[in-house]
Amino acid sequence: MKVRKYYSLIGILALSLLAACSNQALKDNSMQADVTGIEKYKAYQKQYKEPTKITLSHATGHVGTYFFTHWKDGGSASLDMDLEGNFEVEWEGGGYNYVGGPGWHYGDRDRVIGFRFDEDAGANYLTLYGWGYDKTMPKDDPAHLVEYYILQRWTHHPSKSGTLGVEFMSNGTKYTTYRTIRTEKPSINSTSTFYQYWSVPEEPYKLGTEEKIIFADHVKAWEQSGWIIPDMNNFDASDDPTYQVMAIEVFNPPADGKANGQVWEAK
């Protein structure tokens, strides 16, 4: 009887070990699947498994399971990220544009984004930022390619050059939508003419507080504004996937600065 129990115990331990190895393999395969297809982009970098500082002019990739974008057309700016979605952008003053931050390599209408901004030393936008692209639509229709912003803090308001959409409530906050157009500008699909969709809250969010964005509410409001929503989950564009990130953007910064925070997928 004791021998039988001994061998039973060995069997249980062996099965537990096999299950643990299988679960780890599934995780590894899942993580690998997350980047399948992104390798086609010339700016794509390998998946980093440690906290990483990005300084290249144009880079996309993953730090752990978090996708990142890091783009600038000059000047000096860097993106620091860790495996938990914490990030910091530092920039030097100058005549250039920068946008970067962590998130996901595709947009998901049903995603709820959790975030917190801890420091903001002069960024133009602290924002949920992403793209949609539909290669089946005519290229002369600006709606075939959309750059979207759900602002949390800002120094430049899109109402100055945008078309007013609708007001709506999301997660207890009143937002207003706007649409602007960019003519022959850099994008995830080479130089293109495309729309920008904006959601702007009544007041900027405070630093140091945990917040969330219910993305479906914003997509619905853009649709109610009469605007077409292109595909936000594809690898069809030429330069980057249709990513969705919590981004920091600066343009022509008058001085050095930095901003930081954390992003995660909320419930």
Q: Catalytic amino acids?
A: 147, 249
Do 57 and 117 belong to one domain?
Answer: yes
Do 80 and 16 belong to one domain?
Answer: no
Residue 81 has pLDDT above 90, yes or no: yes
Do 110 and 14 belong to one domain?
Answer: no
CA–CA separation, 10 vs 20, rounded Å? Answer: 15
Do 24 and 128 belong to one domain?
Answer: no
CA–CA separation, 102 vs 105, rounded Å? Answer: 9
- Domains held by the chain: number: 2
Q: Could you tell me if 212 and 171 are in contact, meaning their C-beta atoms sit under 8 angstroms apart?
A: yes
Q: pLDDT tens-digit profile of 216-232?
A: 999 999 999 999 999 99
Q: pLDDT tens-digit profile of 220-264?
A: 999 999 999 999 999 999 999 999 999 999 999 999 999 999 999
Q: Where do runs of H (alpha helix) occur along 162-256?
A: 215-224
CA–CA separation, 31 vs 44, rounded Å? Answer: 16
Do 47 and 31 belong to one domain?
Answer: no
Q: What is the CATH number of the domain that holds 209?
A: 2.60.120.180
34 confidence band (pLDDT: 50, 70, 90): low
pLDDT of amino acid 267: 82
Q: Where do runs of H (alpha helix) occur along the chain?
A: 2-35, 215-224
pLDDT of amino acid 178: 98
Do 46 and 28 belong to one domain?
Answer: no
1 confidence band (pLDDT: 50, 70, 90): very low
Do 126 and 19 belong to one domain?
Answer: no
Do 12 and 50 belong to one domain?
Answer: no
**Beta strands in the chain, from DSSP E residues, in sequence order:** 52-54, 58-63, 66-72, 77-81, 86-91, 97-104, 112-120, 125-133, 145-154, 163-170, 173-187, 190-201, 211-214, 244-251, 257-265
Do 26 and 119 belong to one domain?
Answer: no
Q: How many CB atoms lie within 10 A of CB 209?
A: 10
Could you list the residue range(s) of the whole structural domain that residue 16 is in? 1-36
Do 27 and 137 belong to one domain?
Answer: no
Do 4 and 88 belong to one domain?
Answer: no
